[in-house]
Structure formats: C-alpha cells, structure tokens
Amino acid sequence: MTRTVLFAPSVLGADPLNVGAAVNSLGGNFDWLHVDVMDGRFVPNISFGAAMAGALRKRYPESFLDVHLMIDPVDALLPSFVAAGASQISIHAETEPQLLHSRLSRIRGAGIGAGVAIAPVTLVEQLRFVLPMVDTVVVMSVTPGFGGQSFIEETLEKTRDLVRLREVEGYNYRIQMDGGINLKNAERIAAAGCDVLVMGSAVFGDPNPAEYLAKVRSRVQKCLSSRC
C-alpha cells in the first residue's frame, strides 16, 4: 500500500500582518499547521508565543496544531502551549538533555502528541532512549531559527536511519522534516522515508498557496506510488 505523506505549512512563512488570511489561502488543503516558537536565546530570532497558537486554535478549531518549540529553557512556557490548544508539541533534544525524557512524558501526560526535534548536527543516536515514547521525530534540515534557508542534504541520512530503526525496533513515530522544502525537493525527501513535510516560505511565498500545496501533494503521492 502507498504511504501517505502529511503536509504541514509553517505559519512562520506567512505575512505576519496577515497570518489568518494566509492560512485561509491554503483552502484547507493542509494536514497540520506548523507553529514555530523562537525565543531569541535558543535560536537567534523571535517569532510567536502561546497567544498565536491560541488564536489559531480558536480560528481553526478542527486543525491539528503542530507546535515546534525552539526555546530554552522549556519548562516555564510549556503549560501555556498546552493550554493554548496544541495538538502536538515538539521540543529540542539539545535543550537541557537531562530533562528531555521527563518533559516528553509531561507532554504525553497532557494527552497530546509529543515530538522531539534535532538540529542538523545532532545525531539520531542521541535520541535512542526517547524514541520509544515519541509520536514524532523532527529532523531539522536547516539550522533552526529562520525560514527561507536551503535544505541541508546530509540530514536525509538521518531520516533513512530513523526509518530503519523504526522497522527494527518496532517504534511508532512519524518522521517530520523541517526546513528548505519545496516543489523541487519534496519527492526525494518523501522517498527517503519522511512522513510529514513542513513548508514555510515555498508555500506562502507562492501567489497561490492552495494550488502550490496541491501540486506538491500530487507529485509526492505519484512518486511514492511508483516507488520513486
């Protein structure tokens, strides 16, 4: 059976003065809404807080809100994103790694999805003891902090490793790739085993985001069904 890949537009790629209009321009043709939270400390940029997640939840009550926390420390702010209505929260393995396991348990305990994210230089091996408990592994394919960067090819190797590990160990996580994804490279990323494609600037930078997404989706699914 052909695998189905999910598409998660990142609102970081939207015009900050018109985020609602940008999401509407997707015409509902998305699976997850990806919300990048940056604190100016873990990454050299500041983006959204829990108020944005809460506003998106209110406006799009049925949507799967995929919150990607690029903040350090995590603990003080985590509850506000749960309360805002996140469907899943991903935290970085590089933030206070000694607390990673308990934080992921806390997220799961809140009844939502738990994701672990790794920056391009972080090894999959570092995740060994949390892989059994996560719903999503976010393989960052650009340096965290900014949209509009180029895809780092070497990170595909981590996706292939995660596919193998999942098979051998019987884990259940989805593999998400985040950063530098567009119409040109989406097929090969999906073919490497990625389950969720995050796309910011490519989708929202296009004059017709709904059409763009539909085009990527159909190319990816066609590619997977022909075992590309």
- Region near Zn ion per CB under 5 A, out of 38-46, 54-62, 67-75, 207-215: 67-75
47, 72, 76, 175, 178 from 195: Cα distances, Å: 25, 27, 30, 5, 11
Active-site residue among 36, 39, 135, 195?
Answer: 36
Encoded one letter per residue, x for contact with ligand DX5 by CB under 6 A and - for no contact, window 152-181 reads: --------------------------xxxx
Residue 17 one-letter amino acid: L
CB of 198 to Zn ion, least distance (A): 6
Residues 160-189 that bind Zn ion (CB under 5 A): 178
Q: CB-based contacts of 142: which residues, under 8 Å, 6+ apart?
A: 120, 149, 150, 151, 152, 178, 179, 180
Q: Does 57 bind ligand DX5 (CB under 6 A)?
A: no
113 binds ligand DX5 (CB under 6 A): no
Binding status of residue 206 toward Zn ion by CB under 5 A: no
Q: By Cβ distance, which residue is nearest to Zn ion? A: 68
Q: Does 39 bind Zn ion (CB under 5 A)?
A: no
193 binds ligand DX5 (CB under 6 A): no
Query: Which of residues 135 and 178 has its CB atom nearest to Zn ion in the complex?
Result: 178
Whether 178 is a known active-site residue: answer: yes
* Residue 44 near ligand DX5 by CB under 6 A: no
The interface partner of residue 145, options being ligand DX5, Zn ion, none and the CB cut-off 5 to 8 Å by kind, is ligand DX5
Q: Mind giving me the DSSP string for 1-26?
A: -----EEEEBGGGS-TT-HHHHHHTT
| 3-state SS class at 66 | strand
> What is the Rg, in whole angstroms, of the alpha carbon atoms belonging to the chain?
16
DSSP-assigned states of every residue in 181-204: --TTTHHHHHHTT-SEEEESHHHH
Q: Which residue has the tokens 């990170």?
A: 155
Distance CA 194, CA 205 (A): 23
Q: Is residue 145 part of the contact set for ligand DX5 (CB under 6 A)? A: yes
Q: Which amino acid is at 162?
A: L
* H/E run at residue 216: helix 209-225
Residue 147 or 193 with smaller CB distance to ligand DX5: 147
Chain residues in the site for ligand DX5 (CB under 6 A): 10, 12-13, 34, 36, 68, 142, 144-149, 178-181, 198-202
- Give me the active site residues, please: 36, 178
Chain residues in the site for Zn ion (CB under 5 A): 36, 68, 178
